[in-house]
Structure 1
Amino acid sequence: MFACAPANHPTPMPPPHRTDPDTPATDWHAQELLLMREVMKLVGRSLAPAFVLREMLHLMSELLGLNRGRMVLADEATPGTSGAERTASVRHAYGLTAEEAARGVFRWGEGITGRVLASGLPAIVQDVDAEPLFLFRTVARAQLPPQTVAFIALPIEVNGATVGVLACHRIRSRQRHLNDDLALLRILATLAGQLLQLEQLVAEERRQLAARNQALEHALDVGSARYGLIGRSPALLRALGELERVSQSQATVLLLGESGTGKELFARAVHLASGRRDQPFIKVNCSAIPDTLFESELFGYERGAFTGASTARAGWFEQANSGTIFLDEIGELPLAMQSKLLRTLQEGTLVRLGGTREIRVDVRLVAATNRDLAREVQAGGFRQDLYYRLNVIPIRLPSLRERREDVRALALHFVSRANQAHQRNVNLAPDALARLEAHDWPGNIRELGNLIERLVLLADHTLVTAAALERFMPTALDRAPPAPASAPIPPALPAAGGLVRDYLSATSHDAQTLQDALTRHQGNQSRAAQSLGLTLRQFGYRLRKAGLR
């Protein structure tokens, strides 16, 4: 303990107990017991330090005459702050105005309060008027009683470190021993430290619970996502709701939407939500099958049906029997095959290539396209009767621009998957996730997934900030303008006369024009063909003629 007294004067002793014959003596022991009992009631009623500490200062004044009590607590240190620059402020007070309490800010080592903060030792000032270190910062001397005023300050400790000061004014001529006040104040300072420590523990527990909840939410979005579809945006949930309502029926489902919106995952979700979930799920990309192989791939072939057919083979429809078949990019199906597909869908039978026997199949069809099949029908590129057969239950899949709430969950999922696949430990900072959410993503989920994989492989640091992310973000030169799913560029229509395409010679487009179309559409032959008013087969034929394959 260090004590401050008037310079060149011996430390005065507290006056002995004196009793005015006309005034009954104060039972200080009873007052102390009453104070402690009331404080404990407060603690039992609420563990919030702010409430208990304010009432504690009130009781100190009312019951013991320890006036203008205040709790000076350390301010949060900013990064780079030195020990000498640390400050503490009056947080709780009784008998101080709001203006007086606001002035109570002390640096470590400044004045009596600052010395208690720096040393961790109590301080007793017998006479504030005679102590040069006393600052009168909160209360001016003129606002204090004219008698000799003492000042008592005790450290408040948490885990062995001084975090604050319990201080008060005391009229020195009171009929009560100073040591009695010190003993009680030590108990109250210890209790204040325990309450503050408890507050820190509760705050830390809350932070841990918040982090755990965030991890659980992420796990729900990623690990337990319905049917592997990640996200909770209204647009996604609406599409999922439509999917689940029709999953138990046998009706054909047509998935519509831009390229990269996750049609295959939705098709698998239709299968998993149906009664066929334990049966085969066969996926077929119609744009990847050459025209000459469509029939044998979809419906199979018999032995000897063509050169090299040494054995019979079941097609995709037979392999999907009792299950689900997913025909992706069904708009690329040749017209000749469209009629055979329609027959299989209507009658539930098929005939293998080179065969004569009808084979019955029970298959649920899910089809997908990023093209406007209604306009394709008008242009003569798709059969009207097949379109009506497919368009029983159309479900539009939202683009990623309509699912900004899901970008964060998707990005974290792709980061986790890429880290596992490539043995990396890359993470995204909050500002990087915000930057990803702000992007328009014309390439949809596929573009986001590809960017994340590239980032995981090439990132210089394990924590990727928005600034570091910027060099991986696509620019206007990196991408061609997207072709909207709702309005693909149709082939030119005849001026009059219906559904027959204009005749175009095999030399209608030179090699440079074909190459430019491919470059504009990043090698996507379907879109390049559409932009030139050609079918995919016409475009492919011209590529071969030009020697560009």
Structure 2
Amino acid sequence: MMSKQTTAARHDWRAQEMLLLQQVIQNLGKDDGAHHTALKIMLQLMSELFGLNQGRIVLQHTDDENASIIYSYGMSPEQVARGFYAPNEGITGAVLANSYMIVADDISEDPLFLARTVQRHELPDEKTMFIALPIAAHNRTFGVLACHRARFSPRALHDDISLLRILATLVGQLLFIHENNEARTQVLQTQNQKLKQTLQSHSRRYGIVGSSAPLLKAVSELERVAHSNANVLLLGERGTGKEMFARTLHTASRRVGQPFIKVSCTGMAEETLSREIFGIDETPGLLEQADGGTLFFDEIAGLTPGQQVRLLRVLQENAVTRIGSRKAVNLNVRIITATEHDLAEQVEAGRFDSDLYYRLFVVPIYLPSLRERRSDIPELVAYFLHQINRDNRRNVNLTAEAVAQLQHYSWPGNIYQLEQFLRQLVAEAEGNLVDEHQVWNLLSTQSDPINSTTFPKPEPVRKADKPKGFTIQGNQARPYLQADSHSLEKIEETLAYCRGNKTQAAQMLGLSTRQLYYRLEKLKKEKAQAEKQ
């Protein structure tokens, strides 16, 4: 029979085991699912609670059959660095290759023990055991859990082995789950990247400038409905590019060779607008002129109730009856509408026909404001500056700090306001380089008041200040800077703006293309070396 003292001791060991497992479980998921913290704590408590010293987790490489120590406790960096094993090399390699446990009773005498990480002269005077177990899950071996143990430990060997089996099983399951999650994440990231690249290439093909998520979402919706005949309603603030999107929808559709006609629903007398849209007597209106193609109603909320009823009848019958005539003319025309108003509120207020609303609201596409796509501003600035410089035979550029000022502004007039602002800025620029102070001064004259917290005034210029940042180039070159004048973060940020175009990025950074390649490769090597240390 087991004595009371032995029973109490076993209870103490069980409490320690529960403590170890509790600490490991509490720290799971603290590293975005990688479990680094939990595994390090596990190895630490194996040593401190049970005397299972120099614990290490050896994991197989993803690109070959070899393995290295990834996690350890009580080992120096030099010892860990030596922990590299091929299959069947030493005890660790044998466990890795054959997926079974090996217990070396006395490693000072065991020929299979390599003494590679902890060399024999570093071992304690007392006899030391080495226990190595496979880390496996779902018929796959991921690595090895191993540790040193005093041969004459006060704790029973079979208890230590039972605990290590539990921990090895736990680690195997964690690694299996993490690997699967990483694989799924990688697939999703690859799919998202491919989708983003596809949408970016499409946006470039259509002449849409920008790569922000809200813009690419609108481009994706545009692609989805381009080849259908469904009526499309473009929603968004004034100046967000609704006419450009309407033309893009037409260009991307099967009607591309047919007419695209725009009609403005505001700023015209009711009778005149009705004649223009529906025609009168022997004169065809815009609906008939757009037959086979696309008719774009800009600011559809501007139609009067009578015009709304007449347009609804056209959509219901696919035919139009001219004013003053009883003969209906069949139509094959796609209707695209746009508004900055909330049509649902207009319907509730009785200002817009509900049946017409549901006819138009077949495929709504929301165009983001410039405030929602601030990351596109540098690219838009580069695009507009190129056009403006070319049209005016100028070579005006903006510093990066000036572009940052533009990104802080609210832009109530959106892209249209940005383009007009840049035209004014170029017209008033005395030199070829515009800084953040000049941008702020001109923006402060805009009708929209500046909020000092969201649009801070730049610090005064000091004579000793050196030029900062990169510049958004026009169509001329400027003197190049030193190759070491930019950090890796700045270069990668600029490459992102340029969608990976190194020639354009070099121009924006004030470097030659050769300097950019040299600087980028040098910084990447330095970063890789620093991460290895």
TM-score by length of 2: 0.46
TM-score by length of 1: 0.44
Larger relative CO (CA 8 A, sep 6+): 1 or 2?
1
